[in-house]
Amino acid sequence: AAKAAGKSAYRTCTPALRESAVSRAELIADLRRAVDERQLHLEYQPIVDLATGAVRSAEALVRWRHPRLGLLAPAAFLPLAEETGLIVPIDRWVIHEACRAAATWRARVPEATVAVNIAAAHLRRPDLIATVTAATASAGLAPRALTLELTESALIDGSEAVLERLAQLRELGIRIAIDDFGTGYSSLSYLHRIPATELKIDRSFVARLDTDARAYATVEMVTRLAGAFDLAVVAEGVETEGQHAAVTAIGCVHGQGYRYGRPGGLSALHALAAPR
Ligand code: C2E
Ligand code: MG
Ligand code: MG
Ligand code: MG
């Protein structure tokens, strides 16, 4: 299964772990140590402005360099982290690390923003606000330079407490993106209630743009909807020239995907986003 992951040499699927000599219990114990032993790192994937090609934002994506299994992608360990609650210290570390990275990037590109993914379990915790505030303050980062990406499934159990928390984050200036938009149970009433600043169109729609008229219509409709709600829109998973042409023609403002750049180190991001 690791081979199927191809040139990236990442292990992404749970079967790879199941076949491996590491048991679930060991993996949990390993994961418990991963943050303290500095085995996690972030990669940054550029988000481009489709009109100009400029890169002014990036998404931080966590990776785990496991001492015996090698480099693991989020799909290989985040489900376990969510089951065990270890996702909270992991996401907390991610937020701090991404804020530090954003601050160094903004020293070169003043309007740059960095996005982090927030697990549903973390969103339900009142201390999310304290974590975000501490991370931006200690990095000396303007809150408007940080975007929290939340999936529809994380938002759907949207209790009043979660909505209130999101409103407080918005008041602080933090940006809120709805990730993988279109794959959950989104409804229009829900879009009215979530104080989002952007929508990220799930890559399953983008992948079918060239061949499926309904996928095209979906991307078109979500882009219009985002415009009407005054939300920024990002097309995720743009891989081909055809998909790039389509999302540009539809009027998506931002694109993310292998067509523009794979997740990579901070120095690659700096090079890519260097002001021309
Ligand atoms: P996501 O937030 O939707 O992130 C985008 C995923 O799509 C990333 O996978 C990225 O590498 C991949 N991707 C980007 N462009 C393309 C493309 O053109 N084609 C294809 N096929 N894939 C593309 P990755 O890094 O494996 O992350 C998977 C998911 O894991 C993320 O989906 C996010 O939900 C979650 N995740 C990643 N980092 C974190 C984190 O720090 N905390 C939490 N809670 N979740 C995370
Ligand atoms: Mg995301
Ligand atoms: Mg996504
Ligand atoms: Mg996704």
For the Cβ of 46 lying below 6 angstroms from any atom of ligand 1, the answer is no
Cα angle for residues 73, 231, 63 (degrees, 5° grid): 10
- The pTM score is 0.93
Coil, helix or strand at residue 95: helix
Closest CA to 28 of 73, 70, 71, 66: 66
Average pLDDT over residues 205-222: 95
Task: Name the residue of 41, 42, 117, 151 to mutate for ligand 1: max ligand atoms within 8 A of Cβ.
Answer: 117
Query: What is the whole-number distance in angstroms between the Cα of residue 21 and the centre of ligand 3?
Result: 31
Amino acid at 166: L
Which atom of ligand 1 is closest in space to residue 61's alpha carbon?
A: 38
For the Cβ of 182 lying below 6 angstroms from any atom of ligand 1, the answer is no
- Rounded to the nearest integer, the mean pLDDT of the chain is 90
Task: Give tens-digit pLDDT for 63-93.
Answer: 999 999 999 999 999 999 999 999 999 999 9
Beta-bridged to residue 149, according to DSSP, are 117, 177
How far, in Å, are 77, 149, 155 from residue 168 at the CA level?
A: 30, 16, 15
Q: How far apart, in whole angstroms, are the C-alpha atoms of residue 244 and residue 61?
A: 22
Owner of token pair 């219990």: 25
Closest CA to 119 of 146, 93, 88: 88
Task: Give tens-digit pLDDT for 132-171.
Answer: 999 999 999 999 999 999 998 888 766 888 999 999 999 9
| Close Cβ partners of 200 (under 8 Å, ≥ 6 residues apart) | 149, 177, 178, 179, 180, 181, 233, 234, 236, 256
| Close Cβ partners of 177 (under 8 Å, ≥ 6 residues apart) | 115, 147, 148, 149, 150, 196, 197, 198, 199, 200, 234
Task: Name the residue of 11, 61, 199 to mutate for ligand 1: max ligand atoms within 8 A of Cβ.
Answer: 61
Query: What is the whole-number distance in angstroms between the Cα of residue 249 and the centre of ligand 1?
Result: 25
The answer to whether 226 and 263 are in contact (CB under 8 A) is no
Q: How far apart, in whole angstroms, are the C-alpha atoms of residue 275 and residue 239?
A: 24
For the Cβ of 250 lying below 6 angstroms from any atom of ligand 1, the answer is no
Query: What is the whole-number distance in angstroms between the Cα of residue 59 and the centre of ligand 4?
Result: 12
For the Cβ of 221 lying below 6 angstroms from any atom of ligand 1, the answer is no
Q: How far apart, in whole angstroms, are the C-alpha atoms of residue 218 and residue 140?
A: 40
Query: What is the whole-number distance in angstroms between the Cα of residue 180 and the centre of ligand 1?
Result: 10
Q: What's the pLDDT score for residue 3?
A: 41
pLDDT at 184 over 80: no
Q: What is the ipTM of this complex?
A: 0.97
- Label residue 81 exposed, middle or buried (CB < 10 Å: 0-12, 13-18, 19+): buried
Task: Give tens-digit pLDDT for 19-39.
Answer: 566 788 899 999 999 999 999
pLDDT at 211 over 60: yes
Cα angle for residues 118, 176, 62 (degrees, 5° grid): 30
For the Cβ of 88 lying below 6 angstroms from any atom of ligand 1, the answer is no
Phi-psi region of 125 (alpha: psi -120 to 50; beta: other; left: phi over 0): beta
Q: How far apart, in whole angstroms, are the C-alpha atoms of residue 152 and residue 195?
A: 13
For the Cβ of 239 lying below 6 angstroms from any atom of ligand 1, the answer is yes
Query: What is the whole-number distance in angstroms between the Cα of residue 204 and the centre of ligand 4?
Result: 9
Q: What's the pLDDT score for residue 158?
A: 66
